[in-house]
Each structure stands twice: as C-alpha cells, then as structure tokens.
Amino acid sequence: MSTEPLTRDRRFVCFWLSRTISALGSAVSIVVLPILVYEQTRSALLVALVAASGTLPYLAFGLVAGAVADRVDRRRLMVGCDLACLAVLASLPLTATLDALAGPLVVLAAMASSTFALFFEAASYGLVVDLVSKERLAAANSSLFGAETTARISGTALAGLLASLIGANLTVLVDAATFGASALLIASIRVDRAARGGERNASISSPPYARDSTSSSTTRCCAS
C-alpha cells in the first residue's frame, strides 16, 4: 500500500468524498422524509415509522450485514447499495408527479434505503482497511469521522432550507443524487487483490452514522 499522505492518495480521497457525501445525504433524509410523509398523510404514526426506519434494519440485519461484507467484494457491495438507494429515493418524486405517492410507500422507501445503507456501512468499515496501511489507519478514520460529523450537522440545516425553497419532493431527489455521486466515487476506486480479505470486518456494534436515517460533480477516475 502507498505511504504517501492521505490527501495525496487519490483512492482515499475518493473514498473520503463518498463517505462525506453519504453523510450529507443521510442528514437530509433525517429531515425531509418525515416532512414528506406528513405532507401526504398528516399521520403521526407514519412519521414515527419513518423516524424508526433506521433502527429497525439495524436490529434485524446488523450482525448479518457484517458477515456479508466479509464474504463479498466490498467495493461492489457499496456501489450496489448506493444504486439501490438512488432508485428507491428517486422513485418517490416520480410517483408524486403521477399523484400516486402514499404515506406507506414513503415508509417502505425509508426502511429499504436504511437497510441498503446498513450494508453500505458494513462494507465501508472493511474497505478503508483495504485502502490504507495500518500506520495510516488511525489518521484515516479520524479524517472520515470529522468530515462525516461536519456533513451531518450542515446537512440537517441544508435539508430544512431546501425543503422550504423547492419542496420536500425535490429535496428527496437531491438526496437521491448524493447516492449516485457516492456510487460513482466508489466505483472509480481500484482495490489491490492482495488487500482484499486482509483484515476481516467486525460485526457492527452500533447503528451506522453515515447513512443512518434516525441520527439517518463526479470525479474522474481515481485508480491508483
């Protein structure tokens, strides 16, 4: 693995950008999906179900996600989860334009996107080990945590601003676009075969943050 500074490691920069964009989109989801379901139904119960959608997949699939991420290509799993989230969230504004958007559909979309996000996070914990050396792992994790924390804080405010300016439906579309950007960034990373399967990914011990819906310019090729 490269020993150059993290800021000059194009693979890690792509990974860092993906995780940061992911956190920003998650913060938007936290705010806008409950708004969307309330606008459609005025139901406090459905709003509560959307709010719980990040916890339920963790309880159901938390241990499974870590095991699956250990046994498959992590990069491909992350890209697949991103694209699935993109499709799920983008379907909401589409159905709204057809006057077919119902509250339960928003709840199902929130639960589905949170489930895919759980598997994305499980894979991402292992992928960072594949990208950086042990000597740089602490610095890499610190950089990721700081960026994601900032993105979550700013994303919450951004969601409220966007919802007031363009409405909840279009804000969900913006959220969906963040998954597409993240997928392109991850897809552009090349992982050495020798690095794959190095350290096995531990089972998730806490709910994922980067795309947790309860707490929950594409770059050029970044191959090394």
* Cβ count near 71 (within 10 Å): 11
Nearby residues of 190 by Cβ (< 8 Å), 6 or more positions away: 11, 223, 224
The Cα 182–Cα 142 span in angstroms is: 20
Does 222 fall in a domain? no
Total count of domains within the chain? 1
Predicted TM-score of the model (pTM): 0.80
Say whether 42 sits in a helix, a strand or coil. Answer: coil
Q: Is the pLDDT of residue 52 over 70?
A: yes
For residue 75, the enclosing domain spans 20-187
Does 110 fall in a domain? yes
- Expressed in angstroms, the distance from the first to the final Cα of the chain is 10
* pLDDT of the residue at 184: 97
- pLDDT bin (cut points 50, 70, 90) of residue 201 is very low
Q: Out of 58-72, 127-141, 188-202, which region has the weakest mean confidence (pLDDT)? A: 188-202
The Cα 172–Cα 149 span in angstroms is: 21
The Cα 30–Cα 173 span in angstroms is: 14
DSSP codes joined into one string, 87-138? HHHHHHHHHHHTT---HHHHHHHHHHHHHHHHHHHHHHHHHHHHHS-HHHHH
* Cβ count near 15 (within 10 Å): 28
- pLDDT bin (cut points 50, 70, 90) of residue 223 is very low
* pLDDT of the residue at 211: 46
* pLDDT of the residue at 194: 52
Q: What is the CA radius of gyration of the chain?
A: 17
Nearby residues of 27 by Cβ (< 8 Å), 6 or more positions away: 151, 152, 153, 154, 155, 156, 158, 159
Does 197 fall in a domain? no
Per residue in 163-194, pLDDT tens? 999 999 999 999 999 999 999 999 999 887 55
Of the chain, the percentage scoring pLDDT greater than 90 comes to: 50
Reading phi first (left if > 0) and then psi (alpha if -120 to 50, else beta), residue 194 is in alpha
CATH code of the domain covering residue 67: 1.20.1250.20
Q: 152 versus 204: which is more confidently predicted?
A: 152
Q: Is the pLDDT of residue 38 over 60?
A: yes
Unique residue bearing structure tokens 């950089």 = 143
What average pLDDT does this structure show over 20-39?
89
Does 63 fall in a domain? yes
* pLDDT of the residue at 26: 83
